[in-house]
Amino acid sequence: MPAAKPNVIIVGGFMTMPPNYWPMRRRLLRRGARRVDIAPLWPPDWAIAGGLGFGPLMRRTGKAIAASYRAAGMRPVIVIAHSAGGIAGRLAMSPQPYNGRLAAVAEAVGCLVTLGTPHGLAQLPNRYRHAGHEAADFLDRTTPGAWFAPRTSYLTVGSSYRGAAFPGLAGRLVGEVFGMIVGSDASDPAGDGIVPSAAVHLPGAEQLTFEDARHGHIGSGWYGADEMIDRWWPTAIRLWEQALAAREARRAPEAHPARELEPALTGFAGTD
């Protein structure tokens, strides 16, 4: 356990809402997180992102990360992003404007943990091209892989499970619909029921692949279940501590942490 407990913010996945992550929040608090926030992303936010692009969603995510950073006393936080939330989180960290919007909150993030995020979305065969592909393409061009390491550590978590993402017949049907949105890797069907294992990791990130993790937060065995958190949480803590140590080692004597995130603390740079 680290000398100082980390503040955490959860960034939910496509068409989820904060209450979906309340159980996960309680589990992280029991495991030593000092505070766990949940980004205020709701289904209407995702619907807008699907129609107008990820710009507004990215800004909302960036503001939530900056607020958690301030609540942590300007100590970098652990961002735990589920599914498409990992795309939103990486966009919020980007130093380049996306569709005319900028959050630039990388300095607020000590460790980015992504759970079943389709980082390789742009490379997956999919007959339906959507806003997520555009966002993934942008990230591949501008901040590929573990771009902000070592100041920010990266942990990507995926699965080689070969069953349905959700339990029951209805769950399997939902998984198939979401699977069509994400795409598939015909050469290797392994994944978490929605995101293929071939698309879930970032080059340069520490990578964990479980054989039995499921994508969705319904039922047991998903990435945020007790038994799964116990597998990746210690690694997230270690990587967060490493990032803080890297920052401390490279900090100039005159540097001031409050200035490192100036754009975010003043409402972000760029235009709305």
Chain segment 136-152, per-residue pLDDT in tens: 999 999 999 999 999 99
What is the model's pLDDT at position 126? Answer: 62
SS3 track for 17-35? CHHHHHHHHHHHHHCCCCE
pLDDT at 252 over 70: no
Q: Find, among 114, 59, 120, 134, the residue nearest to 92 by Cα.
A: 59
Q: How far apart are CA 149 and CA 246, in angstroms?
A: 9
What is the model's pLDDT at position 271? Answer: 38
pLDDT in tens, 29-83: 999 999 999 999 999 999 999 888 899 999 999 999 999 999 999 999 999 999 9
Percent of the chain, pLDDT > 90?
61
**H helices of 143-225, where?**
168-182
- pTM summary value: 0.85
- Beta-ladder partners of 270: 101
Q: Name the superfamily (CATH) of residues 7-265.
A: Alpha/Beta hydrolase fold, catalytic domain (3.40.50.1820)
Residue type, 258: A
Domain segments of the chain as ranges = 7-265
Averaged pLDDT score across all residues of the chain: 84
What is the model's pLDDT at position 177? Answer: 57
Burial group, residue 163, by CB count within 10 angstroms (0-12, 13-18, 19+): middle
For the chain, counts of helices (H) and of strands (E): 9, 6
pLDDT at 247 over 80: yes
Say which residue, 3 or 223, is predicted with more confidence.
Answer: 223
Q: How many Cα atoms sit within 13 Å of 250 on the Cβ side? A: 10
Say which residue, 149 or 270, is predicted with more confidence.
Answer: 149
**Averaged pLDDT, 188-192:** 66
Three-class secondary structure of residue 8 per DSSP? strand
Q: Which of 50-54, 119-123, 163-167 has the highest mean pLDDT?
A: 50-54
**Averaged pLDDT, 218-236:** 91
